[in-house]
Chains A and B, each alone.
Chain A
């Protein structure tokens, strides 16, 4: 009986739901695919702003005293906005709002998100958050320069740029963002749990969906901590409460606060902030798994272990937050607990790395552009993960904390690595979104420039950290223990950063050109098994599937199944429709 209902509602598409006008189709759209593209374009646009900001920071560090528009306040403002935009407004929005929106309904085999209207509201609320954030560039005093962690008391006191207005805009924008995320996030979770196609059991879901699903749950649990801390800080600033404000002076003047705890903010921030790392990483883990399997023509190795690793990492990510606070002045005994949990999380993470490489092992590896980026990801993520073991081991963190080692580490692990996956994913799914390939030559150029360029930025940066160069310094001046050569190294890092930045223009040009002129791709150019490639139309139309919803018969990784004619079996192919090898095929097979 349940099955009948399921069929009755979902299988006969009602034409009256399709958008009729340009505005309802492309602007106030409730189609998850259009919303995904809106999210993606907005996120990438704001990400480009953050990229330019990082270039300006690097100019100051590489060539101090050369650029008059970068004074100490501006420098801190660039640092802050670069960090916050990249982490929240680019990575979170693009991975979940962009890819999550596009892929969830298609990969689980449903017509749309379960709450399409809410989904639309989510995007427009996100856009509002972005507008408020961008507006803070133009208010008196400019954006906040409190660092992306926004630590009070300094974030709201004179002496920090933007402590008057910029910080309020930042906090309000974050609060709006979290509202947007919650609307989107509830939708993603509900859709995965409630709207999967018939036969799509949880353990048949592609790892992309697992990654996005668990990351969304993390977001729904973690963002509230940021929301309350943002609201509490707004209260401290505007209403004179003292959540985070002890009795202190501000540039000699006593402030009208007492009894608050700055460390309370840090706990709240990192209770959000550490899961945030995995909110970015888990979707990337999932997507890269699917790219690797597809382009290596091989099932993902150890699928069950991969799923449990995602779940375990997600769970553990809530009990490691204070490893960001080893030298914060919190009770030092916490160090034992958080160092232990942090290093435990390395185990499931390492397993994922092994399994990615074992997926390539005995595969049939096509070095397409998505595959190149996926391999680049394995390299950069391994590097960033291993340096994380150093910082996570509490006592090793003592000399390295607050130095460029930290900057290099987190850029490798949650900057470069997820971006590698994002590019892999864009090159991989672009044919589904547009029906055209991205240009391969430009793609390869983009890959090599980005991969080698970012390594030229971040490998040496670790060594500035070993040396002890502190982060968030506008200039080093004459510091005894820092040799002249460190400045040369900084200059070289800056040159690499500028090159990497410029190369991204090639990518943007490639996207724009390929949307109109790219080579036509057909429905399933990579011969992939997952449902999104099995749609009747490419790009999929509103409602995704024709008259009937797909029915799933197998897991997502039936690549190169022995004795089967093709080297892939889509998830919606019933066992009786699988074409087996004939005698001739088998003969050829044996010969090789």
Chain B
């Protein structure tokens, strides 16, 4: 008896839960209302069946519960009843399937006027490519991928030169234009999903997959990788900003083409050396850093990392938190570098310097346990390298040779959201998530104890 009542209560409870649940689809921001409609049809059909079947079950239990004076009815079969039930079920199933197949037909047929964008996935970042004025993507090959050519474009293919390359997790799309997204992976399986657009598809290394949608609402939406792609899968996020057509064009015009990026000058080391003179009072003559001024070692860090961080300081992406006075100081100092070229020059100079092992007087004796730290560092090593040498591909700077007090301060800053919270800090949110996997100060000390043991002489990844 109790079981029948409980089943009735569970049915009622499930219905109530369904209607009061605040957890429901995010508001739709694409043309795929037809997917939502199919879901609604399916929900109604399955919901009604759920209620009817279980209420009948409960009724049967109550009506025919054990009674020692009654016998069960003997009826091996009832062909008519079974046939009727089969037919009704078939009709219900067809009623769900047929509209679904029509919508699927729409989903796999890209409108001819659709714009194209390529989404490129790699462990654990997104990047994007627009076809440029010729509306044709240039050829790509895995073998061509390098630090200088992260998309692996074929420079002999004329179609590739005007391709617009976005080496960032941020994608911008125009509103109300159908977009065909072609999907390419450099390494393992990934999945491009934007909950508000409803559609998703895997990125498969070796082949190109696709999906399409028309964004219908201006706004900024999260891109999630939804195919397990390794340890840091959960940090593989991006954003898509849907702009008006004009704003989008403005944004696109500011992005660089493959040809422009290939032609961009490398930093000038001699010029950089001169510019660095102003920095040396805090960071040291040879960029070795100085604890007194809270200045980290810069010598031997890779050029791309230094460039990015200097630009972050300049555009107030980094160092804008009141809890970080040194960062605010760096914002002011970075203004001394007037343009992109000077930034590059300083970065080029510093990355040409050898990393200097921190002098023992500068370091407190290590408080962490390096053996425990080695285990903790396993997850860090995927991006930062087993020797802490850094890796351009994973956008991870060199750690080996850095002052332990600085590493600790940065890890704490990430954990407390002092660093990496800014909208424009592309990879900071990832480090925020990862820094939280070091649960307490002791684990931070342990992992840093291990990093300081790593050889400081490792060549910068460039």
Q: Which residue of B lies closest to A383 (CB)?
A: B50
CB-CB under 8 A from A247, the residues of chain B are 142-143, 206
Using C-beta atoms within 8 Å of the partner chain, give the interface range for chain A. 35 or more
Q: When chains A and B are docked, how far (Å) is the Cα of A367 from the Cα of B394?
A: 60
Asked if B39 and A327 make an inter-chain contact with CB atoms under 8 angstroms apart, the answer reads: no
Q: How far is the CA of A533 from the CA of B161 in the complex (A)?
A: 80
CB-CB under 8 A from B249, the residues of chain A are none
Segment of B128-136, B312-320, B376-384 engaged in the interface with chain A:
B376-384
Residue in contact with B61 in the complex, picked from A336, A375, A464, CB distance below 8 Å:
A375
User: B167-209 vs A: 1/0 string, CB under 8 Å?
Assistant: 0000000000000000101111101010110111111111101
Q: A252, A472, A480, A560: which has the most chain B beta carbons within 10 Å?
A: A252
Cβ contacts under 8 Å, B207 to chain A: 246, 261, 263, 329
Contact between B440 and A159 (Cβ–Cβ < 8 Å)?
no
Q: What's the Cα separation between A473 and B90 when bound, in Å?
A: 38
Q: Any chain B CB within 8 A of the CB of A403?
A: yes
Q: Judge whether A402 and B22 touch: CB under 8 Å.
A: no
Enumerate A532-561 residues with CB–CB distance to B below 8 Å: 557, 559-561
Choice from B14, B42, B224, B429 contacting A396 with Cβ under 8 Å: B42
A297 to B68, CA, bound (A): 11
What is the minimal beta-carbon distance from B30 to any residue of chain A, in angstroms? Answer: 11
- CB proximity to B under 8 Å, residues A166-224: none
A76 touching B231, Cβ below 8 Å = yes
**A24 lies within 8 A of chain B by Cβ:** no
- Interface pick from B93-101, B295-303, B329-337, B450-458: B93-101
Q: 0/1 per residue, A337-376, Cβ < 8 Å to B? A: 0011001101100110111011011111111000010011
Q: Could you list some 6 contacts between A and B, CB below 8 A? A: A151-B228, A158-B382, A251-B382, A332-B108, A355-B82, A393-B96
Query: Are B100 and A479 within 8 A (Cβ)?
Result: no
Nearest Cβ distance between residue A341 and chain B, in whole angstroms? 10
Chain A CB within 8 A of B151 CB: no
Interface residues of A in 247-305 (CB under 8 A from B): 247-252, 254, 259-263, 296-299, 301-305
Q: Which of B3-11, B256-264, B341-349 contacts A (4 or more CB under 8 A)?
A: B3-11
Q: In the assembly, what is the distance between CA of A252 and CA of B152, in Å?
A: 12
A562 contacts partner chain B, Cβ-Cβ < 8 Å:
yes
Q: Which B residues touch A346, using CB under 8 A?
A: 89, 93
Among B57, B86, B222, contact of A375 (Cβ-Cβ < 8 Å): B57
Instruction: Find chain A residues with CB under 8 A from B70 CB.
Output: 364, 592
| CB-nearest residue of chain A to B27 | A481
**Considering the chains assembled together, what is the distance between the CA atoms of A542 and B437 in angstroms?**
56
Given A263, A375, A376, A396, which contacts B35 in the complex, CB threshold below 8 Å? A396
Q: Are A146 and B228 in contact (CB under 8 A)?
A: yes
B77 within 8 Å of A (CB atoms): yes
The complex places the Cα of A475 from the Cα of B433 at a distance, in Å, of 8
What does the 1/0 interface line of A520-533 toward B look like (CB < 8 Å)? Answer: 00000000000000
Q: B443 near A: Cβ within 8 Å?
A: yes
Q: Is the CB of A386 within 8 A of B101?
A: no
In the complex, chain B residues whose CB is within 8 Å of the CB of A483: 22-23
What are the residues of chain A within 8 A of B434 when measuring CB–CB? 72
Q: Which residue of A lies closest to B49 (CB)?
A: A386
B268 within 8 A of A: no
Indicate whether A449 reaches chain B with its CB closer than 8 angstroms: no
The answer to whether the Cβ of A575 comes within 8 Å of any Cβ in the partner chain is: no
Task: Report yes or no: B35 in contact with A399, Cβ–Cβ below 8 A.
Answer: yes
Q: Which residues of B have CB within 8 Å of A344?
A: 93
B100 to chain A, nearest CB (A): 4
Known A252-B394, A353-B53: A473·B233 in contact at CB below 8 Å: yes
Chain A neighbourhood of B53, CB < 8 A? 353-354, 357, 382
Q: Are B123 and A360 in contact (CB under 8 A)?
A: no
**Bound-state Cα–Cα, A343 to B38, Å:** 14
A259 CA to B205 CA in the complex, in Å? 10
Interface residue? A311 (CB, 8 A): no
Q: Which of A100-108, A418-426, A452-460 is the contact stretch?
A: A452-460
CA distance A327 to B64 in the complex (A): 46
Q: From B14, B54, B188, B432, give the contact of A459 (CB < 8 A).
A: B14
Per the 8 Å Cβ criterion, residues 190-248 of B in contact with A are: 191, 193, 195-196, 198-207, 209, 220-222, 224-235, 237
Q: Which residues of B contact A296 (CB under 8 A)?
A: 64, 72
Which residue of B54, B142, B183, B233 has the most chain A CB atoms within 10 A of its CB atom?
B233
Q: Is A109 an interface residue (CB 8 A)?
A: no
Which of B1, B228, B237, B443 is most buried by chain A, counting CB atoms within 10 A of its CB? Answer: B228
Shortest A295–chain B CB gap in Å is 9
Question: Which B residues touch A360, using CB under 8 A?
Answer: 57, 60-61, 64
The answer on a CB contact under 8 Å between A351 and B89 is yes
Distance of A491 Cα from B200 Cα, bound (Å): 28
Once bound together, how far apart are the Cα atoms of A481 and B24, in whole Å? 10
Is A589 positioned at the interface, with any CB of B under 8 Å from its CB?
A: yes
Which residues of the partner chain B approach A358 to less than 8 Å between Cβ atoms? 78, 81
In the complex the two chains form, is A251's CB within 8 Å of B187's CB?
Answer: yes
Q: Which of A67, A261, A481, A591 has most B Cβ within 10 Å?
A: A481
A485 contacts B234, CB within 8 Å? no
B322 to chain A, nearest CB (A): 20
Is A440 in contact with chain B by the CB < 8 A criterion? no
Please pick, from B69, B105, B228, B391, the residue contacting A252 in the complex, using a CB distance under 8 A: B391
Q: In whole angstroms, what is the CA distance A398 to B213 when docked?
A: 12
The reply to whether the CB of A121 lies closer than 8 angstroms to some CB of chain B is no
CB <8 Å contact, A248 and B57: no
Shortest CB–CB separation between residue B28 and chain A, in angstroms?
10
CA distance A478 to B228 in the complex (A): 19
- Shortest CB-to-CB span from A361 to chain B, Å, is 5
Are A339 and B101 interface neighbours, CB within 8 A? yes
| Cβ-based interface call for B274 (8 A) | no
Q: Closest residue of chain A to B101, judged by CB?
A: A336
Does A19 belong to the interface (CB within 8 Å)?
A: no
Determine if B224 and A159 form an interchain contact, defined as CB atoms under 8 angstroms apart. no
Give Cα A403–Cα B103 distance, bound, in whole angstroms.
Answer: 21
For residue B152, which residue of chain A has the nearest CB?
Answer: A249
Closest B residue to A470 by beta carbon equals: B226
Contact for B100 among A355, A365, A387, A393, CB less than 8 A: A393
A351–B226 touching, CB < 8 Å: no
Nearest Cβ on chain B to A111's Cβ, whole angstroms: 30
- Interchain CB contact under 8 A, B25 and A467: yes
A402 touches B42 (CB 8 A): no
B189 lies within 8 A of A151 (CB): yes
Which of A160, A261, A394 contacts B230, CB < 8 Å?
Answer: A160
- For residue A116, CB closer than 8 A to chain B, the reply is no
Contacts of A383 in B (CB 8 A): 50
Taking a contact as CB atoms under 8 Å apart, the answer to whether A249 and B122 are in contact is: yes
Instruction: Answer whether residue B265 sits at the interface, using C-beta atoms and an 8 A cutoff.
Output: no
Q: Is the CB of A72 within 8 A of B234?
A: yes
Query: Besides the contacts A249-B393, A362-B72, A389-B96, what 6 more A-B pairs have beta carbons closer than 8 Å?
Result: A73-B378, A251-B383, A340-B97, A398-B107, A399-B195, A463-B24
Q: Tell me if B67 counts as interface (CB < 8 A to partner A).
A: yes
- Please determine whether B108 and A351 come into contact, CB atoms closer than 8 angstroms: no
| Closest chain A CB from B121 CB (angstroms) | 11
Given A161-B231, A375-B3, A403-B226, the answer on whether A560 and B14 have CB atoms closer than 8 Å is no
The residue that A347 contacts in the complex, of B25, B46, B71, B89, with Cβ under 8 A, is B89
Residues on the A chain within 8 Å of B107, using CB = 332, 395, 398
Which residues of the partner chain A approach B50 to less than 8 Å between Cβ atoms? 382-383, 386
Residue from B50, B200, B436 having most chain A Cβ neighbours under 10 A: B200
Q: Could you mark each residue 562-585 of chain A with 1 if its beta carbon is under 8 Å from any beta carbon of chain B, else 0?
A: 100001000000000000000000
B234 touches A159 (CB 8 A): no
Q: Could you tell me if A304 and B77 are in contact, using CB atoms closer than 8 angstroms?
A: yes
Q: Does B145 contact A (CB under 8 A)?
A: yes
Q: Are A399 and B39 in contact (CB under 8 A)?
A: yes
**Chain A residues in 8 Å Cβ range of B199:** 398-399
Q: Quick one: which of A340, A399, A455 has the most chain B CB within 10 A?
A: A399
CA distance A252 to B381 in the complex (A): 13
Residues of the B chain whose Cβ atoms lie less than 8 Å from the Cβ of A250: 187
Q: Is B142 within 8 A of A367, CB to CB? A: no
Q: B134-162: which residues lie under 8 A (CB-CB) from chain A?
A: 142-143, 145
